[in-house]
Amino acid sequence: MKKNLVIVALALSLVACLAEDGPPLPKAHADNAPAANAPVAAIRHGLPDFADLVERVSPAVVNISVDQTIRPEDDDNPFAGDPFFDFLRRFGVPGQGFPPNHPSVPRIRQGIGSGFIVSNDGYVLTNAHVVGDTRAEVTVKLSDKREFKAKVIGIDRRTDVAVVKIDAKNLPTVVIGNPSSARVGEWVAAIGSPFGLEHSVTAGIISAKARRLPDENYVPFIQTDVAINPGNSGGPLLDLSGRVIGINSQIYSRSGGFMGISFAIPIDVAIKVKDQLIQHGRVQRGRLGVYIQIMGQDLAPSFGLDAPRGALVAQVEPGSAAARAGLKPGDIVLKVDGKEINENNELPRMIGDKQPGSKVKLEIWREGKSRELTAVLDEQPQEETAHKQDGKSSSDKFGLSLRPLSAREAAQLGVPGGMVVETASGRAARAGLRYGDVILSLNNQPITSSEQFRQLAEKAGKRFALLIQRGNARLFVPFRLD
């Protein structure tokens, strides 16, 4: 009889633990305490209940649709850059959607994605691969069904972050969180528009942090098992306090669909990019000018290291910040401004976070001992951005977005300098300029900067000749402004 009473008592205790209100949440860390109006997900039946959190955050999550006019000369692939195609290409399904013969006339490229409002006057964060480029026509749809034409403020492809602006006031906004406080195993949720199904909510846990992906040197991704599909890109990743800790960006997939591995851009990385895009229309990054490789376990003893650490310098670009500082092949960069480099791919992000022209102290390992060098950083070549120029894009008049040749590119071409065509539209497209062309001179005057190009073009009048390099060939291209 006593045994039965004990069993009944234990059963009642278990039922009490699973009661509707559930046990109290663990005490939040001081640096991750919920802000005012930021809901904390309740615990029901032993699992987090995101209902209140979603109700609070959803009004600040938007649906993004993109229409982009593609000209034949822009790209040989009619779907390259399309948000949906780009999603498939990134995640393992190349070739999907290709017509046998694409048309040779301008066409409209359409895509969908998600985003979220970060200021009540209309700034929206999303992915660069959702927007496509600065010429795209972007429509933002709010949760209350209002739609706005958005202006593309800027795009940063290196981090896959874009900022667009809608003309509206007193908008609901998200609360920005702290990704460094998030822990592996914690519950997170995503809100977005998978396959156009607006304001869909999915949940999971953080699987890993600071995940490095191939050819991604600037983003320490948050890996989750939250279900992410085409259309989710650009939407927020939320912690249990309803704060945004990341932007959902990529998945790993062999089929094009969700397979349990998703990646989000940490929100602190995205906010730094957003601030620069709003202020400058582009992102300025420091550049050292080295090629690095992994310092593996088998290499470490050869360099006199007790364990593999740091970034091994394989090559130094002539004339670069690294060359001026005295870096040599075989040096191992151990620290940047006192911060240790545990893995080689941490070096590009540390340097990229610095402003061009800034001084950095490098602790290096050379010939069995450490020493310090000081480098004055160069600037990373610019990618396509919405450059501010009297409130208009630099491509408005000429239809061009340009970046300088890097020292390595110039050496390969055997030229002192030039400007690489990033995008060509309008007059530039009609002149026959294409992505990847290198403009060497304008009316026989060498071109080394966008500002120099603009000044020489202004002086030249309505018509001028550009000397360009396309592949291994050079040719003159007539350019008309009338």
- Give the active site residue among 129, 241, 378, 425: 129
82 is catalytic: no
Q: How far apart are the first and last CA of the chain?
A: 101
CA dihedral (150, 155, 157, 161) in degrees, to 10, reads -70
* Cβ pair 207, 184 in contact under 8 A: yes
- Give the active site residue among 86, 133, 160, 331: 160
233 is catalytic: yes
Q: Which residues contact residue 445 at a Cβ distance below 8 angstroms, ignoring those fewer than 6 apart? A: 456
Strand ranges, E, within 133-272: 137-141, 147-156, 161-165, 175-176, 187-192, 200-211, 221-224, 236-238, 243-251, 262-266
How far is it, in rounded angstroms, from Cα 181 to Cα 239?
Answer: 10
Integer CA distances (angstroms), 134 to 140, 164, 216, 425, in order: 15, 10, 22, 11
How far is it, in rounded angstroms, from Cα 281 to Cα 381?
Answer: 14
Integer CA distances (angstroms), 421 to 155, 287, 424, in order: 16, 21, 7
* Cβ pair 188, 198 in contact under 8 A: no
Which stretch of DSSP H or E encloses residue 48?
A: strand 47-49
How far is it, in rounded angstroms, from Cα 60 to Cα 381?
Answer: 34
How many CB atoms within 10 Å of residue 328? 12
Rounded to the nearest 5°, which phi and psi values hold at 273?
-65, -45
How far is it, in rounded angstroms, from Cα 463 to Cα 298?
Answer: 61
Q: Which residues are catalytic?
A: 129, 160, 233
